[in-house]
A and B are shown apart, each in its own frame.
Chain A
Amino acid sequence: MNAVELAGVTKRFGNQTAVNNLDLAVPEGSIYGFIGPNGSGKTTTIRMILRIFHPDDGVVSVLGKSSGAAADTRLGYLPEERGLYKRMTVMDVCRYYARLKNHYDCDPDIYDWLDRLDAREWAKKRIDALSKGMAQKVQFITSVVARPKLLILDEPFSGLDPVNLEVLRDAVLEMRNRGTTVIFSTHDMSVAERLCDTIFMIFKGNKVLDGTVESIKENYSDNQVALKLGDQAVLPAYDMVSGSREQDDHLLVNLHQGNSPQQFLQKLLEDGQQIHRFEIARPSLHDIFVSIARPHEHMEESESEQSAQGASA
């Protein structure tokens, strides 16, 4: 059973296609990570799930209800960083958001969460008197206090210190254990890798990754090698290399799609390179994200430079 299903969903704003023919299935009770660079279509997709936007084409089904239905009180949402009235007190803002979700007898739940997140003493403080970390905790409480079936978190851990990050991470896991489906959008690949059962990556409105972290890594394991050469400076001369970065005493080298590590090794040997280490690496989510997004960024930069030159000419 899926908590969220998108089938052939397209959303356009004027001439721009924000989301293109997107298919997605978020299983109930899972933690589903949305990743993608800024402007890739994550927020538009989330807003369609929240019913704030409606698709131009396709069907968005959330907790068994299809597109066109009214906002669903079974959803909890935490927008990135903001989302709270600065002049309200912590209790008042929590009560307000709970009541908007039809949860009127909410005080016990609010106090329970305040205790759990070590924020009880802030109950009567105004939001604008809170630190960023504390406000983030309050925001989290507002999104979970009405006991949602589906919880959507947009960068829930941004700006948190490691201690508070762990506290909120545990809270997310607890929500999942209670049966809540969690979708969370993040730029922090290490968090996504550690927390998510399934990862979905959207890029320029198109789905480019969808699967468990393990399966994604498996698919991309052919594209990266750990390499240490006698002369590392020769690396840029190899066309099959799409990028590299230093790690400890060696380089992690990404290969363009269609080039296998075996072909690359053969080429190095043919050229007589001194090889100290050559190992097929298992890429991190970060590497996979960069390998997908970076070639396009270079292309975009090059295109924008050309168009700027054209305009000035």
Chain B
Amino acid sequence: MRRIFTIASREYRAMVGTKAFLFTIAVMPVLMAGGSFVPIVLKKLENNDPKQLVIHDQSGEVIPALLELAKQRNEQLSEEQDGAEAAFGDSSPYEIIAWDGDEWNDEAMFELSERARKDEIHGFVQIPADITTPGSTSSVTFYSEKAALSRMRRWLDGSLSRTVRAMKLEKSDVDPAVVGLALAAVDVNSKGLINKSSDGAIKEAEESEGMSSVFLPMGMMMLMFLIIFLAAQPMLEAVMEEKSDRIAEVLLGSVSAKQLLTGKLLGNVLGSLTVFVFYALGGYTLAAINGWTDYVPFSMVPAFVVYQILGVLFFSSIFMAIGSAVKQLKEAQSLLLPVWMLMFLPMFVWFNVIQEPNSIVPVALSFFPPSAPLMMILRLSTGAVIPMWQVLASIVVMLIGTAAIVLAASRIFQVGILWQGKTPKITEVLKWLFRNPMVGS
């Protein structure tokens, strides 16, 4: 037993004691979350010069309102400059210029088009004379190089609609404020279910927000994936090194293959728990700084740890078996692809799962050992009521699946780690599950 701990201790230090590992656990979340920040970074790099729009208002009534709306928008923009909203909207100030030519004809429009091509203006707009006449169905025309995609066009669309609607109502002797209130959309608030506190009192339902309903489940699932990945991948490389450098022979001259495998897996699980503690403390600190501690799912920690241990044992065993059976990383990668695909299954359907965590696919994948750790953590962190029997049954299935995989992996490992010469075929490796050519008949 003491020698198993000796092996586990070396494996643990080999896993968490390297600069590469520390760098990886620090950088991986940044890389994984990095996608969210890309639009903001790109936005910063965008040209935010003012955009000019020439408007030929044949009615003569609309342009003062547009000038005022543009002014309000520009003032608001300077206040929101650093906000996330600004990142996805258009951060250029808008300048509305009233057309002051002599005659509005094709030639005038061509001239304005030429100015737009030279980037002197963003585009121009033609507003018909009867636009504010009640009953009129005239439309406004927006001319620009990329008119359909122009964010300025979308702003004009909303601003014009509101302005023209108000003017038409006034001309019809209807108070626009009354109509506005009558047509206002009805808010539907999202709340969680009613709970009772420990003293039996009914607790008011909490607001259901994007943070807890979308980001938390996704974050927990990604954390589980990250921990399993960080644990399993080094196992592959370590076993390949032990095989190619004939370290395995020295080790197996001192301990049995089962002791070696047990020690390695134990060290690996301890390493993965260290990663969990690192991220849990880091996550809690981040939540505390931002005032999000209410969202920290403390009640999920036991389930997370159980699924993490089982998931690490499951995938690390497979990685060890593959590492022992191949000679080069290239050969291992082709065998790893289907394993990763099985683990990735919950990632393909995660958005549907957070909407319907108790539908047939999420429930089925909760009982499929390769996908159970990610799927159950995803489902549990949605806050939906997951029947207890499903959680227990999933853990039992996972336990059985992990035990079977560890046993199969140990049989492959015992032969593969000593296998020299050409890489065995898959069929040959599968035969090792039933007969070990090293131990004799």
Chain A residues whose CB sits within 8 angstroms of the CB of B441 once the complex forms: 56
Asked if A80 is at the interface of the complex by the 8 Å CB criterion, the answer is yes
Decide: B245 and A96 in contact? CB cutoff 8 A: no
Asked if A14 is at the interface of the complex by the 8 Å CB criterion, the answer is yes
Decide: A13 and B250 in contact? CB cutoff 8 A: no
Decide: A52 and B246 in contact? CB cutoff 8 A: no
Q: What string of 1s and 0s marks CB contacts (under 8 Å) between B245-279 and chain A? A: 11101111111100000000000000000000000
Decide: A85 and B247 in contact? CB cutoff 8 A: yes
- Give chain B interface residues in 412-441, CB to chain A under 8 Å: 418, 437-441
Asked if B296 is at the interface of the complex by the 8 Å CB criterion, the answer is no
Contact A53-B439, Cβ < 8 Å, known A79-B246, A82-B245, A100-B7: yes
Contact A82-B246, Cβ < 8 Å, known A53-B439, A56-B441, A101-B254: yes
Chain A residues whose CB sits within 8 angstroms of the CB of B10 once the complex forms: 96
Decide: A50 and B245 in contact? CB cutoff 8 A: no
- Choose among B2, B14, B245, B256 the residue that contacts A71 (Cβ–Cβ < 8 A): B256
Asked if B3 is at the interface of the complex by the 8 Å CB criterion, the answer is yes
- Choose among B244, B245, B253 the residue that contacts A84 (Cβ–Cβ < 8 A): B245
A97, closest chain B residue (CB): B250
Asked if B18 is at the interface of the complex by the 8 Å CB criterion, the answer is yes
B194 to chain A, nearest CB (A): 56
Chain B residues whose CB sits within 8 angstroms of the CB of A82 once the complex forms: 244-247
Asked if B241 is at the interface of the complex by the 8 Å CB criterion, the answer is yes
Chain B residues whose CB sits within 8 angstroms of the CB of A56 once the complex forms: 440-441
Decide: B255 and A100 in contact? CB cutoff 8 A: yes
A97 to chain B, nearest CB (A): 7
Asked if A77 is at the interface of the complex by the 8 Å CB criterion, the answer is yes
Asked if A70 is at the interface of the complex by the 8 Å CB criterion, the answer is yes
Contact A71-B440, Cβ < 8 Å, known A83-B247, A100-B6, A142-B250: no
- Choose among A54, A84, A102 the residue that contacts B247 (Cβ–Cβ < 8 A): A84
Chain B residues whose CB sits within 8 angstroms of the CB of A86 once the complex forms: 241, 245
Q: What string of 1s and 0s marks CB contacts (under 8 Å) between A200-216 and chain B? A: 00000000000000000
Asked if A87 is at the interface of the complex by the 8 Å CB criterion, the answer is yes
Decide: A102 and B245 in contact? CB cutoff 8 A: no
- What is the CA–CA distance of A84 and B249 in the complex, to the nearest angstrom? 11
Chain B residues whose CB sits within 8 angstroms of the CB of A52 once the complex forms: 249, 252-253, 418, 438
- Give chain B interface residues in 1-40, CB to chain A under 8 Å: 2-3, 6-7, 10, 14, 18
Decide: B440 and A99 in contact? CB cutoff 8 A: no
Could you tell me the dominant secondary structure of chain A's interface residues? loop
- What is the CA–CA distance of A70 and B252 in the complex, to the nearest angstrom? 10
A62 to chain B, nearest CB (A): 11
Decide: B246 and A83 in contact? CB cutoff 8 A: yes
- Choose among A47, A55, A85, A101 the residue that contacts B249 (Cβ–Cβ < 8 A): A47
Decide: B3 and A100 in contact? CB cutoff 8 A: yes
- What is the CA–CA distance of A213 and B424 in the complex, to the nearest angstrom? 41
- Give chain A interface residues in 73-114, CB to chain B under 8 Å: 73, 75, 77-80, 82-88, 96-97, 99-102
- What is the CA–CA distance of A25 and B198 in the complex, to the nearest angstrom? 77
Decide: B249 and A50 in contact? CB cutoff 8 A: yes
Asked if A137 is at the interface of the complex by the 8 Å CB criterion, the answer is no
Decide: B440 and A11 in contact? CB cutoff 8 A: yes
Q: What string of 1s and 0s marks CB contacts (under 8 Å) between B223-255 and chain A? A: 000000000000000000100111101111111
Chain A residues whose CB sits within 8 angstroms of the CB of B7 once the complex forms: 100
Most buried by B among A13, A82, A102: A82
Contact A71-B250, Cβ < 8 Å, known A85-B241, A86-B245: no
Chain A residues whose CB sits within 8 angstroms of the CB of B256 once the complex forms: 70-71
Chain A residues whose CB sits within 8 angstroms of the CB of B439 once the complex forms: 53-54
Q: What string of 1s and 0s marks CB contacts (under 8 Å) between A158-187 and chain B? A: 000000000000000000000000000000
Decide: B255 and A71 in contact? CB cutoff 8 A: yes
Decide: A99 and B437 in contact? CB cutoff 8 A: no
Contact A102-B250, Cβ < 8 Å, known A13-B437, A86-B241: no
Chain B residues whose CB sits within 8 angstroms of the CB of A53 once the complex forms: 418, 438-440
Decide: A54 and B438 in contact? CB cutoff 8 A: yes
Decide: A14 and B437 in contact? CB cutoff 8 A: yes
- What is the CA–CA distance of A77 and B253 in the complex, to the nearest angstrom? 7
Decide: B438 and A83 in contact? CB cutoff 8 A: no
Chain B residues whose CB sits within 8 angstroms of the CB of A11 once the complex forms: 440
- Choose among B3, B6, B249 the residue that contacts A83 (Cβ–Cβ < 8 A): B249
A70 to chain B, nearest CB (A): 6
B156 to chain A, nearest CB (A): 63
Decide: B253 and A102 in contact? CB cutoff 8 A: no
Decide: A54 and B440 in contact? CB cutoff 8 A: yes
Chain B residues whose CB sits within 8 angstroms of the CB of A99 once the complex forms: 3, 6
Chain A residues whose CB sits within 8 angstroms of the CB of B255 once the complex forms: 71, 100
Given pairs A52-B253, A85-B14, A96-B10, 6 additional interface contacts (CB within 8 A) = A47-B418, A50-B252, A70-B256, A75-B253, A86-B241, A100-B6
Can you list 7 A-B pairs with a CB-CB distance of less than 8 A? A54-B440, A71-B255, A77-B249, A77-B250, A79-B250, A83-B245, A100-B251
Closest 9 CB pairs of A and B: A100-B254, A82-B245, A54-B440, A79-B246, A77-B253, A50-B253, A56-B440, A99-B6, A82-B246
